[in-house]
Amino acid sequence: MNKTTPEDELNCGACGYGTCRRHAVAVYQGIAEETMCLPFVIEKLSTTVGDLEDSHRSLESTKEALVKSEKLASMGQLAAGIAHEVNNPLGILLLQANILLEEIDSSAPMADDLKLIVDQANRCKKIISGLLNFARQSRVVRQPTDMVELARDTLRTMPIDENIMVRVESTMADPIAEVDADQMVQVLTNLVSNAQQAMPDGGALIIRLSDTPDEVTFMVTDTGVGIPRENMDKLFDPFFTTKQVGKGTGLGLAVTHGIVKMHRGQITVESNADPGAGPTETTFIVTLPRHEL
Ligand code: ADP
Ligand code: MG
C-alpha cells in the first residue's frame, strides 16, 4: 500500500482496521483488499490521471501528424491529376515551338519570342516533373546501399560553390542500409541544394551519418540564413518557397518528405534564423529504418 516508513502509516481507520499494519496483515491473509486503503487509492488515481494526460498529449500530436500527412497526400493526388493533364498539351507546345524555331531564320525578330516560349515551356515541364515526383506513387525499390558512399557520390556530382566548405562525417558502425538509392540521391540533392542556396555568402555544409542496429540517420547542416519560426510548418507543403520567381519551385522538400515517408522514415528540421540568439544555421535530420519494416 505504498507505506515504507512508519510516518507513512496514517492509521486513519478508513479501511475498517485499527492500524495500517492490521490492514496489511489482513491483505496478506487474503481477507482484505489493498484498495480499501483510501490514501493508497488516491495516490494511485493521481498517477493514473497523469498517465492519461500523457497519452492524451501523445494522441493529440499523432492526430496532428495524421492531418498533416493526409493534407499532403490529397495535395499529391490533385497535383498528379493536374500534372498528367497538362503534360501532353505542354509537350505539343514545346515540339511545335521548337519546329518553328528551326524553320525560321535565327536573326528574324520572331526568333527571340519563340525562344522565350520554349524556355518558359521548359520551365513548366520542370515544374510538372517535380509535381509528378511529389505525387509519385511509385514503389520503393530497396537495395543494400552504402550510405556514406552515396553521400560522397552525390556531393561529387553537384556543383558546389567555392566559398562553401563541404564535409561528410560518418560514425556509422555499418554503412549499409536497404534503401532506394535513386530516391536517396534525390533527397540528398534537394537538401544539399537548399543548404547551398541558404548560404549565398559562403559557409559550411556538413553531412553527418550515424546509425543504430535498426536505423540509419543522416543530418544535413548548413551555416546559412536559417528558417524563421513562422515558416517551419509550411516547409514541406508543395509550392512553399521563399525564393524569387524562377529560382525555387517549392517542390524540393515536398518530394523529399514523400520519399522519406515511403521509406517509413522521419524527417525533422532544427533551425535558428535569429542572429541575436546565436549563429544562424539549419539542420535537416532524416532517419530511416535500415531494413524494410
Ligand atoms: P525551393 O527550394 O524550391 O524553394 P523547397 O521545398 O526545397 O523549395 O524549400 C522550401 C523553402 O524552405 C525554401 O524556399 C526556403 O525558404 C526553406 N528552406 C529549405 N531548406 C532551407 C535551408 N537549409 N536553410 C534555409 N531555408 C531553407
Ligand atoms: Mg529546394
For 73-82, how does the pLDDT look when each residue is reduced to its tens digit (9 = 90+)?
A: 777 777 778 8
Q: Is residue 106 part of a domain?
A: yes
Q: Is residue 92 part of a domain?
A: yes
For 20-54, how does the pLDDT look when each residue is reduced to its tens digit (9 = 90+)?
A: 999 999 999 999 998 889 888 888 899 999 999 99
Evaluate: CB of 186 within 6 angstroms of ligand 1.
Answer: no
Q: Is residue 223 part of a domain?
A: yes
Whether residues 37 and 68 share a domain: the answer is no
Boundary-marking domain end, from 53, 72, 91: 53
Instruction: Report residue 134 as a C-alpha cell.
Output: 511529389
Evaluate: CB of 282 within 6 angstroms of ligand 1.
Answer: yes
Average pLDDT of the chain, as a whole number: 90
Q: Is residue 1 part of a domain?
A: no
pTM over 0.75, yes/no: no
Neighbours of 155 (CB within 10 A): 17
Atom of ligand 1 nearest to the CA of 220: 23
Whether residues 44 and 79 share a domain: the answer is no
Atom of ligand 1 nearest to the CA of 195: 23
The structural domain count of the chain equals: 3
Pocket test for ligand 1, best of 188, 235, 256 (most atoms within 8 A of CB): 235
Q: Is residue 252 part of a domain?
A: yes
Q: Average of pLDDT values for 81-108?
A: 88
φ/ψ of 278, rounded to 5, equals 130, 180
Angle of helix 109-135 versus helix 38-103 axis, rounded to 10: 150
Atom of ligand 1 nearest to the CA of 247: 3
Q: What is the pLDDT of residue 194?
A: 96
Question: What domain range is 89 assigned to?
Answer: 62-134
Whether residues 278 and 163 share a domain: the answer is yes
Q: What is the CATH number of the domain that holds 121?
A: 1.10.287
Angle of helix 252-262 versus helix 109-135 axis, rounded to 10: 30
Whether residues 149 and 219 share a domain: the answer is yes
Which residues lie closer than 8 Å to 263 by C-beta, 6 or more apart? Answer: 140, 179, 180, 183, 288, 289
Q: What is the CATH number of the domain that holds 219?
A: 3.30.565.10
pLDDT bucket at 247, cuts 50 / 70 / 90: confident
Pocket test for ligand 1, best of 253, 255, 270 (most atoms within 8 A of CB): 253
- Contact criterion met (CB below 8 Å) for 282 and 198: yes
Instruction: Report residue 1 as a C-alpha cell.
Output: 500500500
Whether residues 24 and 84 share a domain: the answer is no
Whether residues 231 and 198 share a domain: the answer is yes
